[in-house]
Amino acid sequence: MERTVTNSVRVFGIRVLSLFVVTFCGITLHAQDANKPTQDHSKESFVVQRILNTVQFENDGTFAIDSKLVVRLQSASGIQAWGLIQVPYASNEGDATIAEVKVTKPNGAVVSTPDEDIQDTPAPITVQAPLYSDLKIKQLAVKGLEIGDTVSYQQSVHVRKPLIPGQFWFARDFFKNGVVLDERLEIRVPKDRYVKVQSPKLAPKITDESGYRVYLWQTANLEHSPEENNSKPEPGKGPLPDVQITSFRGWDEIARWYQQLEASRITPTPEIKARAEEITRDAKSDDEKIRLLYNYVATKFRYIGVDFGIGRYQPHAAAEVLANGYGDCKDKHTLLAVLILPLPPLSFSRLMETSVTIRSWMRKSMPAFAEMSNMRSALHFGPFRRLSGIRSRRRFRSRGVSAALSVKFRSVLRKRRTRPSLSTTPTIARTIPIGPMSFDPHCHP
């Protein structure tokens, strides 16, 4: 779950359903209204003539994303951008397809790329990070591309084993990285199913068809705007996606689902109890015991992720992590939580946003599990029950030096014995004394 995000990984977005980010596929462009003024797009590296994305959800949580696109290539950089079709997917949850890849020459000649040229490769993160995963990419190099050609293709991702059965969610932005003459997004949900839909800038057309409620957005991007500012917005204040939809009524539904995943994994065993007693035998206070147990988990257990299907979110049992000597952030949290169970602080899981730049738009009003894929442990310290977070991959340092607790807190899902909630934690740089330790929220970017 927790991992370094590389440039290549950003191609795919990393919480699991951000893995089904849609590139676009095509059909022919409708004739333009002759009464409208024609804009000159001849200097663009490419012009997307039409995008059509169709997303259909079922009551059991399964869904399909089908896309079609037509794009005219006007420069070498345009060929570079569109010459390789890539479709990310998780093989344990579903599959992906690429079809009808055609290049139309200015003289009308058509060059087709055969389906047998499609490659099925591991996602780059599974090669570059200590991670075993079912994340894959279907990719196809388009044949015969030259400046002036028009390429069209179709692609789809079908999820047949949903992460949370019976629930679904989706978020996306319209294409803004170039000129688009016509873009359409159609989302189909069972007619009688509760859903919440938000699209602050463009209202959809809503119809009922064959047992489904159909939401249709149609837009265009006729001017290639400069690249967006890459500065990190404050949590909860970033721009909202153009379209969001969720079947969850509240964050408490997500928390209860995760509690069920974790419940069987946090049972202390005699081996774990004996190890905790051995580590804390000479400690003079509970704070020192916590520090010793934390350092033990953070430094003695290697970070290795084993992320297949639900394993991206469900931790291994604490006893299994202890025996293996490795785990990812959720595994190490689970072991740490079991080790400190006899101590006064209350430990509970928190799932955090992966990237502030991408996930800063997360709001209480639109619960969606895919926007979180990082875990911290949270402890209540002292008479004021101050809430502090720790990350089980960092080592505490001595008095007067920043301790490696949680980093740059953002909106988190707090899962306690009482009602779960979504809350925003501080982001300002400050040092919080915790017994013989100190905490700098910005010590690990």
* Residues 213 and 186 grouped into a single domain: yes
DSSP line for 203-247: PPEEEEETTEEEEEEEEEE-S-PPPPP-SPPPTT-SPPPSEEEE-
119 and 178 share one domain: yes
44 within 8 A of 224, measured Cβ to Cβ: yes
* 356: its two tokens: 């502030």
Q: Are residues 317 and 181 in the same domain?
A: no
* pLDDT score, position 373: 58
Cβ neighbours of residue 35 closer than 8 Å, sequence gap 6 or more: none
Residues 207 and 237 in one domain: yes
Answer yes or no: is 36 within a domain: no
pLDDT for res 351: 52
| Inside any domain, residue 445 | no
Cβ atoms of residues 136 and 90 within 8 Å: yes
Amino acid at 38: T
Residue with tokens 């090669």: 127
260 with 363, same domain: the answer is yes
In a domain, residue 4? The reply is no
Q: How far apart are CA 25 and CA 151, in angstroms?
A: 9
pLDDT at 420: 57
Q: In what order do the strands lie in the sheet with 243-246?
A: 169-172, 243-246, 196-198
pLDDT of residue 338: 87
Range of the domain at 243: 9-30+42-222+232-247
Got the DSSP string for 355-397?
-HHHHTT--TTS--GGGEEEEEEEEEETTTTEEEEE-TTS---
Residues 434 and 349 grouped into a single domain: yes
Q: Please give the Cα distance from 401 to 404 (Å, whole number).
A: 9
**Do residue 145 and residue 236 come from a single domain?**
yes
Q: Is 269 exposed, middle or buried (0-12, 13-18, 19+ CB in 10 A)?
A: middle
| Same domain assignment for residues 61 and 172 | yes
103 and 239 in a common domain: yes
Q: CATH number for the domain including 392?
A: 3.10.620.30
Same domain, residue pair 170 and 149: yes
2, part of any domain: no
Same domain? For 204 and 309 the reply is no
Helix (H) and strand (E) counts for the chain? 8, 25
Q: Residue 444 domain-assigned?
A: no
My answer on whether 267 and 304 are in the same domain is: yes
Count the domains in the chain: 2
The pTM (predicted TM-score) of the whole model is 0.75
In a domain, residue 420? The reply is yes
Per residue of the chain (445 residues), what is the pLDDT tens digit? 433 333 333 333 333 333 333 333 333 334 344 445 568 888 999 999 999 999 999 999 999 999 999 999 999 999 999 999 999 998 889 999 999 999 999 999 999 999 999 999 988 877 766 777 788 999 999 999 999 999 999 999 999 999 889 999 999 999 999 999 999 999 999 999 999 999 999 999 999 999 999 999 999 999 876 555 455 555 455 678 899 999 998 878 887 887 788 778 888 899 999 999 999 999 888 878 888 888 898 888 888 877 766 767 788 899 999 999 988 888 888 888 888 877 765 555 545 433 323 344 466 777 776 655 566 666 655 544 444 445 554 444 333 222 233 323 333 444 444 555 555 554 433 333 333 333 333 323 2
C-alpha to C-alpha distance for 89 and 104, rounded to whole angstroms: 28
Answer with the one of 191, 214, 247 that is the final residue of a domain.
247
CATH code of 206's domain: 2.60.40.3140
